[in-house]
Structure 1
Amino acid sequence: MSAPRIAVLVGSLRKASINRRLAHALERLAADRATFVHVEIGDLPLYNQDDDDAPTAQVVRLRDTVRDSDAVLFVTPEYNRSVPGVLKNAIDHGSRPYGQSVWAGKPAGVLGASIGSIGSALAQQHLRNILAYLDMPTLGQPEVFLHVKDGVFDDDGGFGKASRDFMQGWLDAYLAWIARHGGPSRD
C-alpha cells in the first residue's frame, strides 16, 4: 500500500503558530510513511451560500486538495473555548453545496497545542461534534491536548525527548486509523 496523502488544516494563521509547529513536527515524524499536504485556509473568503455556484479559486483549491487526499488532519488552537473562525470557515466551504461535501468518509485526526494546561481540549470537542455531522470517522484515542512547555519541541523543528514517544504513538494510531477507514485511494 502506498503512503496516505493527508490534507493538513491548521486553525491558526500566525506564522509562529505552535499548532503549525506541531503539524510540521508530525510530518517529520511520519517521514516516508505519509505525505502531508498543508492546506492554505487564510485566504478563503467568508462562506456565503450565495457563492456556492461560483466558488473562488481559493475555495476550489481547498475542495480539490481535500477531495484528492486520503485523510484529513486538523491541528487547532482554542479561541474563546472553541474552534477558530478561520477553521470553521474552511470546513463550511468544504461541506457545501449541500450534498457535495468533500469531507464525507475522510478519516480524520484532531489534535492541538496550547501554552495553557488544557491544550485545546474544548476546541477539539467542538470540532469532533462538527466532524461527526460531516460523516468523518475521527480517531478517538489516543487524544492529544499538548501543553507546550520546554522540551516539547527540539531546536530542529521536531519533537523533543519529553514528547517524541507520545507523539509517535499518536501518529502510529492515526496511520492505522486511516488504513482501517479506506487508506490510500491512489495507487
Structure 2
Amino acid sequence: MQFKVRGAVDSLANSRGRSTRHLAVGVGLTAGAVLASALIARANAPTKDNPETYSDYEDLDQPGFKPPAPVFAWVWPPLFLTLIVSGLRIWNAPKSAARTQALSLWAAVQGLNALWMALGPKRLSAQLATAVTTLGAAGAYIWRAKKVDGPAAGLVAPYAGWIGFANVLTEELWRKNHERPTIH
C-alpha cells in the first residue's frame, strides 16, 4: 500500500527518484507561496466587521459581463491547487537552467498574484498594471515550464485564462471609472 501511495504521489508531483525530504520541502515552498496569496486575498476581503475594504467597489460602474461574486469563491481554490502542483512538478524536475528559470517565473507569478489581490479595486490603475504583468509572467512561465515538464505548464493554463478574463474585467472597470478617483 505504501508503494502505491508513493507511486501516485510521484506521478502527480513528478518526484520519482526524489527523496521524501526534497518532496516535503517542495510542498512547503509551493503551498506556502500560494497560501500567502490566498491569505492576502482573504485579508483584503470585506467582512461584517470590516465592510470598508471594498465599500466603494459596488458604487463603481460595473461591467455587464461580470460574474456573480460566488463564482470567484468557486474558481480560486482549484486554480490555487493547480499552481501548487505545477510549481511542485517543476521543483522536482532535474536541475537545469530551464528549471531555474521556470521556478523563478513561477515565484514571480505568485508575488504578482499576491500584489494584484492586495491592491484591490480601490487602486484600479495599479491593479490593472499588475494584472497585465501577471498575465505576461504566467505566459512566460507556461512557455518555460513546457520545456521542463509539459504537464506543469498545462496545469497553469486555466490560471492564465482566468487572469486573462480578470484583465478584461479590470480594464473594463477601469475604463468605466477612470475619471472617478478610487484611491482613498
Same-fold status (TM-score > 0.5): no
Larger radius of gyration between Structure 1 and Structure 2: 2
TM-score by length of 1: 0.28
User: Which structure shows the higher strand fraction?
Assistant: 1
TM-score by length of 2: 0.28
User: Which structure shows the higher helix fraction?
Assistant: 2
